[in-house]
C-alpha cells in the first residue's frame, strides 16, 4: 500500500510541474491555408457573408459550412471535481483542459473547455441553451448531484444536439462494458446476476438505468448509500421524492428482496459490486467481499484512491477487480468511451443520444477484447482502434434510433471515423517529431 500511495504522490508532483511549464494543455490553430492577405477575402470578409446567408436559410447548414460539426463544449460549474468536491470553475479548468486533450488525441474532436460561474441549475441550463449554436454537442462535467440529473434531463429535452453528462453516462457505459466481459469470464448471465451499486451519486444512478437497458433485472440491483440500502419503506423516501426524484424512482423498482440494513446486508450473496463511493482505502471491508457469492467481481472506482486496494480485494476472494486508475489492471475509465461516443454522434450529426446507443457502445468496447481475462476485461487507452469502432457503433445506432441528421452503414461510419482519427494522429505525431510541441522538461526529444 505504501508503494501505491507513493506512486499517487509522484503523479501529483509531475502534474504540478508540467502544468506550470506548459501553461495549458490545448490551443486553437488554423486548419485552412492562408497564403496571402487576399485569402482573407474568402475566409473572412467579404466572402464570408455568403456563408452566413446560406446558414441563415437553414440553421442545419452550420454543420456543413462551419466547424460546428466537429466541435463540442465541455461545460462545468466546478461543483464536483474528481475527488475534490466543489472547487469552483477556475480550479475546474485544469480538469476540463485534460478532458479536451483526450477528446482530441483519441477522438479527433475539437472540445472547448467552458467552466461557467452559475448559482442555480436553471442558470446552467440557460447558459447551455445560449451556447448551442456554436457546438455539435455538449459534454457536461463535474456537476454535483442531484443538480446534474435535472440539467441533463432538461438539456436532452430542449436541445437539438446531444447532451451527455460524462460522470453519469460515460461511467455507466464503461462499467457495463467491463461487466459484460467479467460475467463472460465467471460464466454468469445478466438476468441472474445480483449487482450492488455502492454509492448513489451520478455515476451509479445512471449505471442502474443502463444495466436495466442491457438486460439486468431491476429487482436484482441493490443500491446502498451512506444511509444504507435503498428500499421503498426507508424513512427518507418522502424527502427523496421531493429533492431527488431520480433516486426515489429507483427505490421503487430495485431491490426486489426488499433488503434492509447497510453494506454488510447489501454485499451478502451478491455477484457484483460497483462502487462509486468515498475514497479509500478501507471504504470497502474485506469481510463484506468474503460474504459474496462465488467468484466476486469488485469495481472500486473512486479516484484517485480506490475504496479498497486491489491486492486487498483479491486477498478477500475477489475473482476480478477493477479500479479507475491506469496503473492497475482493468482500468474502468470514461476515457475509453467518450472520445468514440462523440466522434460517432458528430459524424452522424446527431440530435441526441439515449440508453440504447450507450448499450451499443458498451458492447462494441467489450467485444474488442477477443479473449477477456481476469487481468484484461476492457481495452486500454493505447489501443486506439477501439475509438473508431465505438464511433461507428454509436453513429449507426443513433441513425437507427432516428436521432441523426446523417445515415449510413456501420462500415461507412467506421471508415469516416478511422480517417478522422488517423489524420489527426498524423498531424499530432508530426508536431511532436518536429519539436513544434515542446518535450517534457528534463527530457530529450527523440
Q: Does residue 98 sit within a domain?
A: yes
- Distances in Å between the Cα of 201 and the Cα atoms of 144, 147, 149 are 9, 11, 10
Q: What's the domain range around 68? A: 18-166
Q: What is the pTM of this model?
A: 0.93
Greatest distance between any 2 Cα atoms in the chain? 74
Residues catalogued as catalytic? 44, 99
The rounded distance, in Å, linking the Cα atoms of 435 and 431 is 6
* Whether residue 382 sits in one domain with residue 306: no
Nearest to 196 by CA among 173, 237, 167, 230: 230
* Domain-ending residue, one of 271, 296, 323: 323
Number of domains in the chain: 3
- Residue 177, pLDDT score: 98
Question: What's the rounded Cα separation, in Å, for the pair 322 and 308?
Answer: 10
Instruction: Give pLDDT, residue 2.
Output: 55
Which residues, at least 6 apart from 38, have a Cβ–Cβ distance to it below 8 Å?
none
Is position 277 within any domain? yes
* Residue 63 and residue 203 share a domain: no
Q: CB neighbours (10 Å) of residue 10?
A: 10
In a domain, 388, yes or no: yes
**Residues 181, 147 within the same domain:** no
Asked whether residue 85 falls in the same domain as residue 150, the answer is yes
The tens-digit pLDDT sequence of the chain (446 residues) is: 557 677 778 888 998 899 999 999 988 888 899 999 999 999 999 999 999 999 999 999 999 999 999 999 999 999 999 778 899 999 999 999 999 999 999 999 999 999 999 999 999 999 999 999 999 999 999 999 899 999 999 999 999 999 999 999 999 999 999 999 999 999 999 999 999 999 999 999 999 999 999 999 999 999 999 999 999 999 999 999 999 999 999 999 999 999 999 999 999 999 999 999 988 899 999 999 999 999 999 999 998 899 999 999 999 999 999 999 988 999 999 999 999 999 999 999 999 999 999 999 999 999 999 999 999 999 998 999 999 999 999 999 999 999 999 999 999 999 999 999 999 999 999 999 999 999 998 775 54
**Statement to judge: residues 308 and 341 lie in one domain:** no
Q: Which of 274, 298, 323 is the last residue of a domain?
A: 323
Residues 368 and 293 in one domain: no
| 185 within domain boundaries | yes
Tell me what pLDDT residue 445 has.
Answer: 54
311 shares a domain with 202: yes
Q: Which helix or strand (DSSP H or E) is residue 204 part of?
A: helix 202-213
Same domain, 65 and 184: no
Asked whether residue 443 is domain-assigned, the answer is no
Q: Residue 2: inside a domain, yes or no?
A: no
Q: Is residue 330 in some structural domain?
A: no
What is the per-residue pLDDT for 11?
84
pLDDT value at position 117?
Answer: 97
CATH number of the domain that residue 217 is part of: 3.40.50.720
Question: Are 193 and 82 contained in the same domain?
Answer: no
Domain final residue pick, 131, 148, 166: 166
Q: Domain check: are 24 and 156 in the same one?
A: yes
Residues 147 and 75 in one domain: yes
DSSP string, 264-281: HHHHTT-SEEEE--S--S
Say what the pLDDT of residue 6 is.
78
Residue 46 buriedness (CB in 10 A; 0-12 / 13-18 / 19+): exposed
Write the CATH number for 57. 3.40.50.10380
Note the pLDDT of residue 129: 98
Query: Could you give the CA distance from residue 392 to residue 417 in angstroms, rounded to a whole number?
Result: 7
1, part of any domain: no
Do residue 231 and residue 307 come from a single domain?
yes
Amino acid at each position: 500500500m505504501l508503494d501505491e500511495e507513493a506512486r499517487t504522490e509522484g503523479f501529483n508532483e509531475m502534474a504540478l510541474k508540467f502544468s506550470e511549464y506548459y501553461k495549458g494543455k490545448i490551443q486553437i490553430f488554423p486548419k485552412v491555408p492562408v497564403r496571402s492577405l487576399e485569402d482573407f477575402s474568402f475566409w473572412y470578409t467579404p466572402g464570408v457573408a455568403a456563408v452566413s446567408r446560406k446558414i441563415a436559410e437553414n440553421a442545419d447548414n452550420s454543420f456543413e459550412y462551419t466547424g460546428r460539426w466537429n466541435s463540442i463544449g465541455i461545460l462545468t460549474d466546478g461543483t464536483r471535481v474528481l475527488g475534490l468536491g466543489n472547487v469552483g470553475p477556475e480550479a475546474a479548468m485544469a480538469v476540463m483542459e485534460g478532458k479536451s486533450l483526450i477528446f482530441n488525441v483519441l477522438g479527433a474532436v475539437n472540445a472547448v473547455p467552458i467552466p461557467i460561474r452559475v448559482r442555480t441549475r436553471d442558470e446552467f441550463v440557460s447558459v447551455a441553451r445560449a451556447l448551442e449554436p456554436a457546438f455539435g454537442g455538449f459534454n457536461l462535467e463535474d456537476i454535483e448531484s442531484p443538480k446534474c440529473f435535472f440539467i441533463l434531463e432538461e438539456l436532452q429535452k430542449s436541445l437539438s444536439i446531444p447532451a451527455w453528462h460524462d460522470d453519469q453516462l460515460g461511467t455507466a457505459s464503461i462499467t457495463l462494458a467491463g461487466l459484460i466481459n467479467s460475467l463472460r469470464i465467471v460464466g454468469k448471465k445478466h438476468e441472474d446476476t445480483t449487482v450492488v451499486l455502492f454509492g448513489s451519486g451520478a455515476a451509479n444512478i445512471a449505471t442502474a438505468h443502463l444495466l436495466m437497458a442491457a438486460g439486468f433485472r431491476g429487482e436484482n440491483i441493490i443500491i446502498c448509500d451512506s444511509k444504507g440500502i435503498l428500499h421503498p419503506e426507508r424513512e427518507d423516501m418522502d424527502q427523496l421524492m421531493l429533492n431527488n426524484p431520480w433516486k426515489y424512482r429507483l427505490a421503487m423498482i430495485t431491490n426486489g428482496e426488499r433488503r434492509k440494513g447497510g453494506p454488510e446486508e447489501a454485499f451478502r450473496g451478491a455477484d457484483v459490486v460497483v462502487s462509486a463511493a468515498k475514497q479509500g482505502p478501507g471504504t470497502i471491508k474485506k469481510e463484506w467481499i468474503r460474504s459474496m457469492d462465488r467468484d466476486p467481481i469488485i469495481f472500486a472506482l473512486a479516484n484517485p484512491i480506490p475504496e479498497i486496494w486491489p491486492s486487498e480485494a483479491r486477498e478477500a476472494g475477489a475473482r476480478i477487480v477493477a479500479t479507475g486508475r491506469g496503473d492497475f489492471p482493468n482500468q474502468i475509465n470514461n476515457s475509453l468511451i467518450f472520445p468514440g461516443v462523440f466522434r460517432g454522434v458528430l459524424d452522424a450529426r446527431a440530435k441526441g443520444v439515449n440508453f440504447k446507443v450507450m448499450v451499443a457502445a458498451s458492447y462494441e468496447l467489450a467485444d474488442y477484447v477477443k479473449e477477456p481475462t481476469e487481468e484484461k476485461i476492457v481495452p486500454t487507452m493505447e489501443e486506439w482502434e477501439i475509438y473508431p469502432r465505438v464511433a461507428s457503433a454509436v453513429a449507426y445506432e443513433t441513425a437507427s434510433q432516428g436521432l441523426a441528421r446523417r445515415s449510413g452503414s456501420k462500415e461507412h461510419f467506421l471508415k469516416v471515423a478511422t480517417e478522422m482519427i488517423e489524420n489527426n494522429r498524423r498531424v499530432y505525431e508530426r508536431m511532436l517529431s518536429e519539436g513544434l510541441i515542446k518535450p517534457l522538461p528534463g527530457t530529450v526529444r527523440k
